[in-house]
Amino acid sequence: MRNFKYVNTIKAAVEEECPLTVSCADIIALSARDGISLLGGPSIEMKTGRRDSKQSYAKEVEDLIPNHNDSIFVVLSRFQAIGIDVEATVALLGAHSVGRVHCVNLVHRLYPTVDTTLDPAHAEYLKRRCPTPNPDPKAVLYSRNDLKTPMIIDNNYYKNILEHKGLLLVDEELATDSRTAPYVQKMANDNQYFHQQFSRAIQLLSETNPLQGDQGEIRKDCRYLNVD
């Protein structure tokens, strides 16, 4: 969402061709779909027809979307509450195959003592990336989630966490919890299976309680409500 400016650029172009026809909600969903494809992930068939809300639900998002340091129990519970099953949740966390984790969000596993569930050699690497227990939150200090294919959505994430090289607590717990471990093993063994389940999970997530029909509105500008 740091690149929301691109959503506004897309919206302006779409409005030029088809005024008040394509919602910002659809543009965000389709941008996610295309981003996944550009990162080497699966091509996902995604429904359209969402409409934009007339109010903000920022607080609800905070309550529904798991935090980076939540336990696997909390992550499974929050996704289950919106209809995402365990297998799909394991697949969704495969998005950790790309991107990075800022040091401020992982130093608790390194200092004052190293989390014993971390692979020792990987922990030493992480300490070189994050050399202080109190990193400046404004500094760009981070580690890549996947050192081998950091910009490809693939099953290396699952191979890494089976070797105890996950960066977040939930990564480690995903590989060891009895509810999720069998799916982790299966996805680590079969990239095609991971992509299939990742596609299904993204579809489920994108179809969670959409506004349709005459609900909400189609915004002219994604940053603001329409002026009646």
Give pLDDT tens digits for 163-220.
Answer: 999 999 999 999 999 999 999 999 999 999 999 999 999 999 999 999 999 999 999 9
The per-residue b/e assignment along 90-119, b for 16 or more CB within 10 angstroms, e otherwise, is: bbbbbbbbbebbbbbbbbebbeeebeeebe
pTM of the model: 0.93
Q: Are 153 and 98 in contact (CB under 8 A)?
A: yes
- Write out the residue limits of the CATH 1.10.420.10 domain(s) in the chain: 65-207
Quick: pLDDT tens for 130-152: 999 999 878 889 999 999 999 99
Q: Tell whether 66 is in a known binding site.
A: yes
Contact 163, 157 (CB under 8 A): no
Model confidence at 4, in pLDDT bands (50, 70, 90)? confident
Flag whether 34 is marked binding: no
Q: What is the CATH number of domain 65-207?
A: 1.10.420.10
* DSSP state string for 141-190: -EEES-SSSTTS-STHHHHHHHTT--SSHHHHHHHHSTTTHHHHHHHHH-
146 is in an annotated binding site: yes
- Comma-separated ranges of CATH 1.10.520.10 domains in the chain: 1-53+211-227
Q: What are the b/e assignments for 158-181, b being 16+ CB within 10 Å?
A: bbbbbebbbbbbbbbbbbebeebb
pLDDT of residue 45: 94
The reply to whether CATH 1.10.287.1080 applies to domain 1-53+211-227 is no
Q: Is 154 annotated as a binding residue?
A: yes
Q: What percent of the chain has pLDDT over 90?
A: 86
